[in-house]
Every structure is written in structure tokens, then in C-alpha cells.
Structure 1
Amino acid sequence: MSKFSSDFLIGAATAAHQVEGNNIHSDYWAMEHMAHSTFNEPSLDAVDHYNRYEEDIKLMAQAGLSAYRFSIEWARIEPEEGKFDETAIAHYRSVLECCHANHITPIVTMMHFTSPVWVIQNGGWENERTVDAFARYCGYVVERLGDLMGYVVTINEANMGLQVAAIEERYRRQMMAKMSQMQAQGLEGAAQIGMNFNTMMENMQLQKQENKDVFGTEEPQNFVSGRTAEGDILVMRAHQAAKKAMKAAKPELKIGLSLSLHDIQAAEGGEENALHEWDEEFSHYVPYILDDDFFGLQNYTRSIIGVDGIKPVPQGAETTQMDYEFYPEALEHVIRRVSREFGAIGKEMPVMVTENGIATEDDTRRVTFIGRATDGVAACMRDGIPVLGYMYWSLMDNFEWQKGFSMKFGLIAVDRATQERMPKPSLEFLGKQKH
């Protein structure tokens, strides 16, 4: 018996900056090339997906996948404020057409962490101007490509700024308490993004002049900068404005956003802290997404919360390259918790698992992770929870932000010297979850 029905979307995800290469007009490209960069290496041509997307999409189709979540790069579409690049639009039309030709449902993300440099020069994700700028960009794209689009994620992990702010604050407290460098490094597994928090703090003073030269300010507000409470809500308003602009162009478009969620579990004495942590990650966003068409849920592991906050990974537990605990059951727990919370206010919100995965060199562990995680999704659906699909992160080993190319999340390995694609057994295994 098949684990999922024929209309269930099972696929993989990428982000433009992490796979396309040569995203020269984005804030991340600028940060990667600074003398005191916190990035282990620059993205350069990444895995050349910009030129090899057809090959990559065909590999998904041949393995039995039915959906592809990818992002359109704002910095390519609008490299200068108000100046749109029709060549870039034509490229993404070709990507969408390739998906349809291979019977792959496209799930398009409009902003996956990276922004045009000019957005940051204008004040970035703490500035009111960004709300209208983002909406204008989204409306422009849908007016030209909406005929090929069905599902859209406006903003990837819209809560990432608050997660980063919380980690930065914990880091500062640790440093003030004169904790060892080894203890401090444990924080890097607390955010579901590849970041080098130790290097960030050490380089902060050195970077200020470089930031001023490139962005016009010593403290640029990139999307993954530590967010203020006001900036957090500004992101929600940007989502709502973008949704309105896209619906005006194509009313039937299914639109949501995604949040980075941990399976938050309370240790003895940590119950109140755990509730606060969940509210920060999810609950306080609910009023801003109630009218969305679906919710994009992204999960990789759990967080155990004690009296003093997030506890270290349990002693002896298996961990991934990202220092996350190997805990695929987290996904089912989070889907159920999100569903209960929507249900408590009388809302049945379809869930799309827009990211779930593991960084490891051992593909047998990836196969195990996918099997257990999708078992959990299937269990949720048997209990009546509406789950639209499961997108594994990531289609290919790619550029994991500040950690460079060292993290192996992919279903497909890539020889970056030749850009040869080498599918792993996990790719075929994922495709078989529907058969």
C-alpha cells in the first residue's frame, strides 16, 4: 500500500542563491566577498543550477518526485531599484515550463533570505520602504509568470530574524560569563540555517567599515540580521502586502509563508520557557497568516527547554553535520502542534512541509531520516490533518550560507570541479514514498 495518495506532492527544495551561482547583485554576494567575511568561502558559480536546471529537474522526475520548491531571485529580477530585468524573467519562465514539461509541480518562493543590495542600502528589513518594494517585485513577477504558478511561498522562514536575535543574545550572555569557546560553539546548532556565530561576533568590529562602504551603514539589516520586535511585524506586513499584490494579478494562486519551527519539548522546570519559545517561533504569527491558503512548515530537529533555556543535545545522541540532533520524529510532532493551534481557533489550515532534511555524508542515515519523517507525515494525514506535500531539503549538496559547501544535505552529490551530478540512493528512495 502506498504511503501517500496520488495527489500528495513529494519533492525537494532549493534556494536560488545556494544553487544558481553568480548572484552578483545580492547582499549575500557582497558579504561573501568582504575581507572580513564570516563566510567560509564565497558561492561563486555554486552548483550552476542557473544553467543546469533542466538536467536537475529531469533527475527529480526520473526518480518519481512530483514537486520542486525553488526560489526566484529578487536581485536578478530587480538588480537596481525600479529597473526590472526581462532576461531574468524569461529564465524563470523557462524553469517553470521545464517543471510542467516533466510533470513536476512548481512551488515558488519569492524571497529565500537574499535581497538586492539596494534594498539593504535603503534600510533593509527594518525599514518601511521594504514592504512596498517587496510587494511591487512580487506583483511584477506574478503578472508575467503567474500563468505557470500554482503555489507560492512569499518569504522563507519569516521568523529567522527573531531566532538569530535570540541566539546572539544567548551568545553575549555566555561570553559575559566567560564560557569556553567550545561551549559557545554549541549555539550554532540552535538555528535552522548555516551560520558561524563565533566568527560573526569576533569580526563584528572589523566588518563595520566594510559594511558602510557597501551598504551605507555599519549595521546593515539583512533578512537574517537579528530582528527587532518592530522589524518582525514588518516582515509579516511585507508578506501580506505581497500576497495582496499577487492575488490582484492571479486570484486563484495559493499563497503562504514558511516558518522555521523546532519540536519544542519542555524538560522538568522548563515548561514556562518552552511556552515562550513556541510563542516566539509560531504562535504570535498566527493572526498574520490566518487568511493564507496554506502554511509552509520547516523543521529539522527538536529543542529541549529547561529552567535556563535551551539545553544541549542529549549526551550520546546522534548529531548531524549541522550539530542538530538526529530526530526525524520532530516533524510529526510539529505538524500536530501547528494543526492543534489552528484548530483551537476554528481554522483548518493546509500544511505544506516546505523543508525537512539532514546534513550527513552517510546517505544511509538520510534514507532512514526520510523514511521516519515521512512515516510521521502519513500518520498525521491518517488522523485527518491536511498535509499537501513534503519537500526534502535539499535537492543537491549546495552552498549552505556561511558554512559554504561543507554541509551535505543533498539527494544529489555534485562534483564542483566538473559540476557533474551524482544521484544518491536517497533520491530514488524519496520518490518511492508515493509508490
Structure 2
Amino acid sequence: MNKFNDDFMMGAATAAHQVEGNNVNSDFWAMEQVPYSMYKEPSLEAVDHYNKFKEDIQLLADAGLNTYRFSIEWARIEPTKGNFDKTEIDHYREVLEYCYQKNVTPIVTLHHFSSPKWLIIEGGWESESTAEYFENYTRYVVSELGNLIPYICTINEANMGKQIAKIMKRMTESNGNNQSQKVESGDVQVGLNVDMKEKMENYYRALGEAFGMDPRNIQTFHNPRTDNGERIIMECHERARSVIKELKPEIKVGITLSLYDHQALPGGEKFVEIEQQEDFFDYLPYLKEDDFLGVQNYSRKIHGPDGYVKADEHTRLTKMNYEYYPEALGNVIRFVSQHWDKPIIVTESGLSTDHDEERIEFIERALTGVHECIEEGISVIGYTYWSLLDNFEWQLGYEQTFGLIAVDRSTQTRHPKESLFHLGNIKKSGLKG
């Protein structure tokens, strides 16, 4: 029996906009509501985690898990520029305190994709001023809640904008060759819809009206990012880290990156090197003073002499069209550890499926890889499955089912899946192998 140490953090993750509901001051709320929206459906009440967080954390703890990664929603804390909402900070204080009541370690993410609408109007994630705004927001949160937060992820998947930019470039090149515009959802580790050119044009016009600005200047976190935008993101991280260490030096600070297991067929090595440089190595210089790195992995990508090799009809796929390949996680941890000698937390790993037995198999195989990495001497200190709840998967809406807990959204009733208890049993008793 392969057992994790008692102090190993094992649990599940969520993101505020995807689970809380009624995040009305955020950019995503605006994008979901406009005519011709690219979102399959609006988030609305989501799964009402804002009001039902105690029930959800209780379910996690009852299963035997000891860690909950969640995000604080900037658009709630600072609904208008410079105006902080004490009621909302008190809400997150209550969430943190309840974690401790249930012996659950909280891992807090300060920014998980969604931003205040006002930030986008001010220039968004390509604006120099955003670093100052993010620093101010961080200072307020840590001043109010820092004594309750042991781990902070400043920004979730800081490299996501670059990954989306690569997809958009590939789509543009395909259009120039009169090829299909459709990009498979498995091409990026986020719920993204980039189909239908005419609809997108109407959507951007509607967005311009909703934000009161030229739609070409709307820069959300999920926009394809320029090199300057990449620098701004990492300046946000560095300034947030400095504030955290100034106010509460005992808090462990890191960032999370979306990382595929890039594998090369003969002749594909150069493409793997490019992907690893863009997804990982470009960010390392900014992370030298971090305490840990959050690794987020869902699958692998195979590269041949002509580049990325798409899955064929024999490839086992998840509901998100990722290749079903749980061993990717262990491979990514090993790759990261060759260049990163500090602790690693697996901040996201999971799959969307309608068959919970597939989720159980995925968890078992992924955690076998994690345990092997630990036995090899790699400092992996935690694992949070994505996601605790079936939730709002961005542009893909509620159809995707990543959760350990199903939710009947007509009544907001929770239905724990067997996979929740399986993950808890691994924490308590170890892996089967």
C-alpha cells in the first residue's frame, strides 16, 4: 500500500466565478450577458457556493480530505475602482475560519481568470496601471485576512494568455489556407470556444457597448496576450509577492502554470523545446523568490516532425477532448523538478467525464505518479483535484463535469460522487497498488 505522509495536503479546488454565482461586477458576467455571447450560457447563480460553502467544505472534510484551494473574487472585494467592500472581505474571512474549524488547510488564489469590470475599462491586462491596481488589491486582502492564509497563489495559470495566443495564431493561419476555423477544446486547458467567425464579430460589437469602449481595446485575462502583456502579468505577481512578504512573511507564495506533458516523436524534439520554453522557461526568472510552484496538468501533447500531432479515432478522450492520460502529471512534475528545486503543489489535476469510474481510475493513476515522484525525492507537498464541484466551465457552460460532487442546479442539491470518497480513502489509507 502506497501511503502519503500525514502532512501531505490532499483535497480539491474551485474558482470563485465558476462556483459562487452572481458575480455581477466582473468582466466575465458582462461577457456572458451580452447579445451574441460566445458563452454557451450565463453563470447566473452558478452552484451557489457563495451561500453553501459550509456544506461543500463539510463534504470535503467528511470524505477525509484536508485541503481546499479556492479563489477570492477581486470583483467582489473591489467592485468599483478604489472602493473595497468590507462585507465581502468578511465573507471570505468566514470561509477561511470554517476551513480551520474542519481541519482543512486553505490555499487561496488571488486571481483566477475573472477581473473587475472596471479594471478592463481602465485598460485590463495590457495596461501598465494593472500592476498597481493588483498590488493595492493584494495589500487589502492580506491586511485583512493574512493571519488566516498559509498559502497564496497570486495568479492562476499566468501562462494562459500565451497559450490562447498560440491557438488564435494557428486558427488564423488555418483560415488563410481555407481550412476549418474550429479549434478543439482539448488544445488548451480551459473551457474556450473560438468557433464561428460571424458570431464573434457580432459578439465583439456587443462587448464594446457593454464596456463602453472600442472592443479592440478590451483586454481580459483570456485575451491573446502580447509580450508586453506577459511582462505586466509577471510584474503583478512580483509586486503582490512583495506586499505579502512585507505584511505577512510567513505566508508561502507561489503562482500556478498550465503545463502539458510535451512528448516528442522522432523529429519532434524542436517543437517540444519551443513549447517548454514558452509555457515554462520564460516564466522562471520571475519566480526565483517564490516559495512553491503550482503545477496544473490535465493531459499530454505529442509532437512529430511537422508539429503537434492530433489525436486519432483510437485515442481515448475525456469529455473536454483531452487525451485520457493520467501519467502526464507525474511526467510534468519530473520535468519541472529538473529546473525547480523548491516545493511543488499540484493545484489542478482532473477530468470531465459522465462516468465516475473513469474519474476514480484517473485519480488513482495520477496520484500513483505523484507518489512515485515523492519517492524519487521530489518535494511535492500537495494535490488538489479539479474540481470539488461540477461547475461553470467558462465559455462551455455547465455541460462539462469535472466535479467530485454533482449539483442539481434546479435545487442546488449536492450529490457526492464515489470519486470524492475514493480520493479521501487515498488520503487516509493510501493507493491500491
TM-score when normalising by structure 2: 0.97
Q: Give the secondary-structure state (helix, strand or coil) at the position aligned to 1:21.
A: coil
Cα deviation code 1:50-79 (max 9, x no counterpart): 000000000000000100000000000000
Once residues 364 and 264 of structure 1 are traced to their aligned partners in structure 2, the CA distance between those partners, rounded to angstroms, is 27
Alignment of 1:62-141 (within 5 A): 62-141=62-141
Structure 1 stretches of at least 4 aligned residues deviating more than 6 Å after TM superposition: none
- Aligned alpha-carbon RMSD (Å): 1.0
> Which residue of structure 1 aligns with residue 347 of structure 2?
354
Once residues 114 and 392 of structure 2 are traced to their aligned partners in structure 1, the CA distance between those partners, rounded to angstroms, is 13
1:168 aligns with 2:165: no
Once residues 76 and 185 of structure 1 are traced to their aligned partners in structure 2, the CA distance between those partners, rounded to angstroms, is 33
Once the 2 structures are TM-superposed, how far is the Cα of residue 313 of structure 1 from its aligned partner?
1.5
1:241 aligns with 2:234: no
Alignment of 1:177-188 (within 5 A): 177-180=177-180, 184-186=182-184, 188=185
Report the AA paired with residue 196 of structure 1: N
Cα deviation code 1:80-118 (max 9, x no counterpart): 000000000000000000100000000000000000001
1:189 aligns with 2:186: yes
Once residues 126 and 7 of structure 1 are traced to their aligned partners in structure 2, the CA distance between those partners, rounded to angstroms, is 40
Once the 2 structures are TM-superposed, how far is the Cα of residue 180 of structure 1 from its aligned partner?
3.6
Q: What percentage of aligned pairs have identical amino acids?
A: 51
Range 252-261 or range 240-249, more displaced: 240-249
Once residues 175 and 198 of structure 2 are traced to their aligned partners in structure 1, the CA distance between those partners, rounded to angstroms, is 11
Once residues 422 and 223 of structure 1 are traced to their aligned partners in structure 2, the CA distance between those partners, rounded to angstroms, is 32
Range 45-54 or range 300-309, more displaced: 300-309
Q: Give the secondary-structure state (helix, strand or coil) at the position aligned to 2:202.
A: helix
Once residues 322 and 175 of structure 2 are traced to their aligned partners in structure 1, the CA distance between those partners, rounded to angstroms, is 22
Once residues 183 and 137 of structure 2 are traced to their aligned partners in structure 1, the CA distance between those partners, rounded to angstroms, is 38
> Which residue of structure 2 aligns with residue 345 of structure 1?
none
Cα deviation code 1:244-283 (max 9, x no counterpart): 1122111110000000000001122111111001110001
Cα deviation code 1:182-234 (max 9, x no counterpart): xx343x211000001114x4433213332222222212100010000111111
Structure 2 gaps of 5+ residues are none
> Which residue of structure 2 aligns with residue 19 of structure 1?
19
Return the match for 1:309 from 307, 310, 318: 307
Aligned partners of 2:131 and 2:232 also within 8 Å: yes
Once residues 395 and 249 of structure 1 are traced to their aligned partners in structure 2, the CA distance between those partners, rounded to angstroms, is 31
Once residues 314 and 209 of structure 1 are traced to their aligned partners in structure 2, the CA distance between those partners, rounded to angstroms, is 37
Alignment of 1:391-430 (within 5 A): 391-430=384-423
Range 201-210 or range 254-263, more displaced: 201-210
Report the AA paired with residue 209 of structure 2: D
Q: Give the secondary-structure state (helix, strand or coil) at the position aligned to 1:422.
A: strand
Q: Give the secondary-structure state (helix, strand or coil) at the position aligned to 1:208.
A: helix
Q: Give the secondary-structure state (helix, strand or coil) at the position aligned to 1:385.
A: coil
Report the AA paired with residue 85 of structure 1: D
Report the AA paired with residue 122 of structure 1: E
> Which residue of structure 2 aligns with residue 372 of structure 1?
365
Once residues 180 and 228 of structure 1 are traced to their aligned partners in structure 2, the CA distance between those partners, rounded to angstroms, is 25
Cα deviation code 1:97-154 (max 9, x no counterpart): 0100000000000000000001000110000000010011011001000111000000
1:207 aligns with 2:211: no
Report the AA paired with residue 331 of structure 2: H
Aligned residues: 426
> Which residue of structure 1 aligns with residue 260 of structure 2?
262
> Which residue of structure 2 aligns with residue 36 of structure 1?
36
Aligned partners of 2:393 and 2:400 also within 8 Å: yes
Aligned partners of 2:167 and 2:183 also within 8 Å: no
TM-score when normalising by structure 1: 0.96
Report the AA paired with residue 379 of structure 1: E
Once residues 39 and 169 of structure 2 are traced to their aligned partners in structure 1, the CA distance between those partners, rounded to angstroms, is 21
> Which residue of structure 1 aligns with residue 295 of structure 2?
297
Once residues 202 and 39 of structure 1 are traced to their aligned partners in structure 2, the CA distance between those partners, rounded to angstroms, is 15
> Which residue of structure 2 aligns with residue 335 of structure 1?
333
Q: Give the secondary-structure state (helix, strand or coil) at the position aligned to 1:257.
A: strand
Report the AA paired with residue 207 of structure 2: N
> Which residue of structure 1 aligns with residue 425 of structure 2?
432
Once residues 293 and 310 of structure 2 are traced to their aligned partners in structure 1, the CA distance between those partners, rounded to angstroms, is 29
Structure 1 gaps of 5+ residues are 343-347
Once residues 302 and 381 of structure 2 are traced to their aligned partners in structure 1, the CA distance between those partners, rounded to angstroms, is 28
Once residues 279 and 333 of structure 2 are traced to their aligned partners in structure 1, the CA distance between those partners, rounded to angstroms, is 14
